[in-house]
Structures are given as structure tokens and as C-alpha cells.
Amino acid sequence: PYPQYATLRETAPVYPHPLGFWVVTRYEDVFALLRSGASVELRNVDSGALENLRQKDESRKTPLIDGFSMIDRDAPDHTRLRRLVQKAFTPKSIQALAPRIGELVDGMLDRIADEGGADLVPALASPLPFTVIADMLGAPPTDHERIRELSGVIVRSLEPVADPAVMQEIENADAELAVLTSEMIAWKRRNPADDLMTALIEAEEDGDKLSDDELVAQIQLLYIAGHETTVNLLANGTHALLRHPEQLAALRADADLMPNAVDEMLRYDSPLQSSRRITLEPTVLSGVEIPPGAMVVAALASANRDAARWGEDADTLRLDREGARAHLAFGSGSHHCLGAALARLEASITFERMLKRFPDLSLAGDVTWNGRINVRGVASLPVSVG
């Protein structure tokens, strides 16, 4: 997609798509939009425009799942939900996971070593983030594999979906996951423990707590947001390293480079290519006025390659790039990714241990991509480990 983004940034940085939504591709504009008062609530789309979007099925970039989760809510609901979740999802609770993440990674690397190699996506990139979030929640005995499958279906709501049958499948998966999640919450109420789910159940501020529906929605969001994006960071990041041997060598030589390297990987190949906003007032970006009630796609991955922000080597992976952390892969403003610290921790631990363990890590076959436009990532990454 990167050449297309470059063309848009040059020729139509605020692009009115014929199907009725807008696409914003420059760093400055994406940043301004995310920090503006633009809405995330679907009900704010101009009703004529929404009808238009719905009729043209292929343009339904639509989580029609318009629920209680914070990512679909504006202030003041958003502020309240996020604050209650943040009470449970603290920096301390994330840091405390480091040893467990290390253990999980080592176990997965052991299995890869035994085989002399593996497809890194099913062997590590996909199971790791899912297991971490399930552990952190203190998920009770349940059908974890089913939850993972459902999460894989629901995440497709972030793609432009053409087929009504697929929309139906997504809605069914969402309903089924809601049932499984309520069952887990009911179990957890009877068996409280020192974990995130218990902390979410108990989180309180001035007598205000999350309702049952709200709990279900936030936990579903944590499962999906915590899993599907981090897979791409691990897989796309490894892929980028293996295609840039001199960068890989630099990282092997200097462990202190890791934090910046992870952010550069996020900038270089962003796990979530875009997010969406709905304008509430006329909004001028790059001299173009977007009317109120318009659906606007903020192309995060394009902003992250904008030479006007990053310089002429914006398309180059440079693990020591100064200020890589200013990328927009985690969004910006009030909805800035709540799990950014967790994602960074998982990636640092994974890359550190994988590179130490496998000095001869190399590509061992054809890499395939998942074919998604938004949650875009490597689907299959065969590696050999010598």
C-alpha cells in the first residue's frame, strides 16, 4: 500500500473517496484529526451519508458492533470507561507480567528449536499475545481456542467488508463472544483473584462501577485489541528485520537499541493501518474543508511514512532513527492505545530472546500476507534457526 499512500500524500492528501468517506494521509493531518474533537460514534455520521455508505456494501468500514466499549464512545462516556479500566490496567500490573511473558516466549522458542524452525506466526506471533492477555485477565477455564477463533472473525469488522454473509458472521461471532465473556465474568465473581478481570469487576470511582454490559464490552475489547494487532507487530517486525540484515546485526550488537527498534518497526509497518473519525464540525486539513458528519479514515501507516515528517529516508527501516516513538501506530489523543506499554513489552522480550537464542535465524520459504487492508500483517513466516 505504501506507494499508493505516497501518491495520495502528494496529489490528494485529503481525498474524498467516491463511496462517500474521506481519506487523510499526511502525518500533520492525521495527527490533527486524532487530536481534534472528531467523534468515534457511528450515530454521528450524517444520516444521508450513512445510508449511502450502508447501501454500498463494499464501503462498509463499519464496526456495526456499536457497543459499550470505550473505543466506540466519545467523552464523557469514553472518559469514564477509560478511567475505570485504567484503574485496573496499571503500568505496575503490566510490568509485573515481564517474567511470565519471558517464560511463555522461552517455551515457544524451545519448540521452534526442537523442530529446527517453524512458521513463526502460529508458533509464536499469534499465540503469545493471546495467551498474555488471557493470563492477565485471569481467564477462567473456558474454551480459549474458541475465543481466539471468534476474535479472528470479529477483527474483520475493521476491514471494508463486501459480503453481507461476512457481516452476519461477524455479528454472530460478536454475540457468541459476549455470551462466553459473560460466563467468564460470572465465574470470576464467584472466584475473585489477583488479576485484571477481578480488578475490572471491582474498579470503582465515587461509587461508580462498570455495569455488566460495560464489563463484557471492555473485556471483549481487551481480548481483540490486545491480540490481533500485536500479532502483526511481532510478525511484521521479524519480517522487516530478516529483510534488513545490517539492521538486524546492529540490533544484535547493541541491546540498548531495543526500545527504539520496536517503535521503528511500528512506524515502518504499522499493525493497524488506519483508524476512523467522524467530523462534528467543518474541519480544514491541508486546505481542504471536510463537512460535518463525514466519515474520515486516518491513515496511520501513511502518516508513519510521510517524508515531510520523517525526512527523505521515511521508507527506510532505521532502528536508531531519532524520535521513532512519535509514530502514530498507537493513534494519538484521547483514544491513544491503552495497551501500548504491554505491546512494547511483549515485543522487546520476544525480539531480545529470539535473537539471543537463534544467531542463525533466517527466512526459510515464502512469506504470505493476510490480505487485509487495515489489520495488515504477515500471515505465514517460515524461518529456520540453524
Applying CB under 6 A, the span of 12-20, 206-214, 269-277, 358-366 interacting with ligand HEM comes to: 269-277
Of 210, 222, 235, 261, the residue at the interface with ligand HEM (CB under 6 A) is 222
Residue 220 is a binding residue for ligand HEM (CB under 6 A): no
Smaller CB separation from ligand HEM, 137 or 180: 137
Q: Which residues contact 34 (CB under 8 A, 6 or more apart)?
A: 275, 277, 298, 328, 331, 332, 333, 335
Pairing of strands 22-24, 295-298: parallel
Largest CA distance in the chain: 59
Of 63, 67, 117, 271, the residue at the interface with ligand HEM (CB under 6 A) is 271
Applying CB under 6 A, the span of 57-65, 139-147, 337-345, 353-361 interacting with ligand HEM comes to: 337-345
Of 210, 221, 301, 361, the residue at the interface with ligand HEM (CB under 6 A) is 221
Residue 237 is a binding residue for ligand HEM (CB under 6 A): no
Smaller CB separation from ligand HEM, 233 or 385: 233
In one-letter notation, the amino acid at residue 116 is G
Of 15, 310, 330, 351, the residue at the interface with ligand HEM (CB under 6 A) is 330
Taking a C-beta distance cutoff of 8 angstroms, is the pair 139, 127 a contact? no
Applying CB under 6 A, the span of 58-66, 139-147, 154-162, 224-232 interacting with ligand HEM comes to: 224-232
| Contact pattern from residue 63 through residue 102 relative to ligand HEM, giving x for each residue in contact according to CB under 6 A and a dash for the rest | -------xx----------x--------------------
- Cα separation, 385 vs 362, whole angstroms: 7
- Cα separation, 104 vs 106, whole angstroms: 5
Smaller CB separation from ligand HEM, 343 or 367: 343
Residue 272 is a binding residue for ligand HEM (CB under 6 A): yes
Of 120, 121, 154, 338, the residue at the interface with ligand HEM (CB under 6 A) is 338
Closest residue to ligand HEM, judged by C-beta, is 339
**Shortest distance in whole angstroms from residue 113 CB to ligand HEM:** 26
**Shortest distance in whole angstroms from residue 209 CB to ligand HEM:** 18
Applying CB under 6 A, the span of 56-64, 111-119, 226-234, 250-258 interacting with ligand HEM comes to: 226-234
Grid cell for residue 327: 509514530
Residue 377 is a binding residue for ligand HEM (CB under 6 A): no
Residue 229 is a binding residue for ligand HEM (CB under 6 A): yes
How many residues of this chain interact with ligand HEM, rule: CB under 6 A? Answer: 24
Instruction: List residues binding ligand HEM (CB under 6 A).
Output: 70-71, 82, 133, 221-222, 225-226, 229-230, 233, 271-272, 275, 300, 329-331, 335, 337-339, 342-343
